[in-house]
Amino acid sequence: MSAAAAPVPRILVISPNWIGDAVMAQPLLRLLRAARPDTPIDVLAPPSVAPVWRQMAEVDEVLQTPFRHGALQLRERWRYARLLRARGYAAAYVLPNTLKYALIPWLAGIATRVGYKGESRYGLINRMHHDDVPPRPMVAFYAALAGAPGPLGAAPPRPALAATPAQIGAACAAAGVDAGRPLLVFAPGAEFGAAKRWPAAHFAALARRALLADPRCQVALLGSPKDHEVCAEVAAAAGGPAAVHNLAGRTSLAEAIALIAKADAVVANDSGLLHIASALNRPVVALYGPTDPDHAPPFSDRAAAISLRLDCAPCRQRECPLDHQDCMRRIDPAMVWQRLCALLA
């Protein structure tokens, strides 16, 4: 009797909880795939981030985490680890820096567990990298996990996502966007906090300029359900829903990715949608206030990062501690328009 074939060892990547971070982790997967072309790579991701991983060619299967955000849920993690044990993982790459995510591959008995020290995860992580001070740009930070602990030898590849023509056609039809006309996408939200948002009145002024310059142009506002209100403000100030489509909260993340893939250009705060637009290689104007543009810069072939680099920046606060949010308010729509025109030229 012949022995049953041993299961093919797989790699597990545990996703960060933010969309932008997931996009910036994609080069790590490219490096892993290049080093081991025959090893399947699965990603364990929260439902809010899973659609991003599904657009990556290197991912074999996306598993959705059943855990609540912020909760330890030890018993649930132990149960889930038993399921993972049965899938035969040889190595796990733990991208969040918290203890609770490092517990999962340890409980699952995965032999090689790679990650940063994070919350002093000695024992749980057994191929430990140490955090840089100051931190590297995020793409390099994640990509370094592909090799031995230490500096990354060469510049990492650029994050890349793709959407198929069928996905783009279906998303345009569902959103009421005319695929035959020019499309600008604005992302006026920022999940992290209000300090990162360029004012709604500025986005509206930019939309009015764009529509005046080309009446065939369509402006779509994308974001999560939490961004719907601020996008409604933009749409109202720009001339109403006939001029601007407020799609925040009305598309799935997969549809938003497809609409961005169709866009002639994207204007976004420092947010997950900005990094999606970059990874789809769309022309991008990125607006930075309380965050550091060098930490997570746009990486499209055609991109403009605008930051006033005030003395108080980057404060990295969710709300402006000085109560004026000048880092964003003082970015003039005329300046953004000029950079947008240069990208579209």
Quick one: which of 12, 195, 273, 331 contacts ligand SF4 (CB under 6 A)? Answer: 195
Stretch that binds ligand SF4, among 86-94, 107-115, 131-139, 322-330 (CB under 6 A): 322-330
Give CB contacts under 8 A, 24+ apart, made by 167-172: 167/254, 167/257, 167/258, 167/261, 168/258, 168/259, 168/261, 168/262, 170/255, 170/258, 171/251, 171/254, 171/255, 171/256, 171/258, 171/259, 171/262, 172/258, 172/259, 172/262
Query: DSSP secondary structure string, 71-115?
Result: ---HHHHHHHHHHHHTT-EEEEEE-S-SHHHHHHHHHTT-SEEEE
Stretch that binds ligand SF4, among 41-49, 108-116, 279-287, 318-326 (CB under 6 A): 318-326
**Residues 102 and 121 sit within 8 Å (Cβ to Cβ):** yes
What sign results for the dihedral spanned by CA atoms 227, 233, 237, 241? positive
Q: How far is the CB of 301 from ligand SF4 (least distance, A)?
A: 29
Nearest CA to 193 out of 270, 278, 294 is that of 270
Stretch that binds ligand SF4, among 113-121, 169-177, 227-235, 315-323 (CB under 6 A): 315-323
Quick one: which of 20, 96, 290, 293 contacts ligand SF4 (CB under 6 A)? Answer: 290
Q: How far is the CB of 330 from ligand SF4 (least distance, A)?
A: 9
Quick one: which of 171, 325, 331, 336 contacts ligand SF4 (CB under 6 A)? Answer: 325
Q: How far is the CB of 310 from ligand SF4 (least distance, A)?
A: 5
Stretch that binds ligand SF4, among 21-29, 67-75, 225-233, 314-322 (CB under 6 A): 314-322
Asked if residue 287 binds ligand SF4 (CB under 6 A), the reply is no
Q: How far is the CB of 244 from ligand SF4 (least distance, A)?
A: 26
CA 225 to chain centroid: 17
> CA dist 127 to 130, 147, 311, Å?
10, 10, 39
Q: How far is the CB of 173 from ligand SF4 (least distance, A)?
A: 39
The single-letter DSSP state of residue 326 is: H
Asked if residue 88 binds ligand SF4 (CB under 6 A), the reply is no
Stretch that binds ligand SF4, among 12-20, 74-82, 249-257, 324-332 (CB under 6 A): 324-332
Residues that bind ligand SF4 (CB under 6 A): 195, 289-290, 310, 312-313, 315, 317, 320-322, 325-327
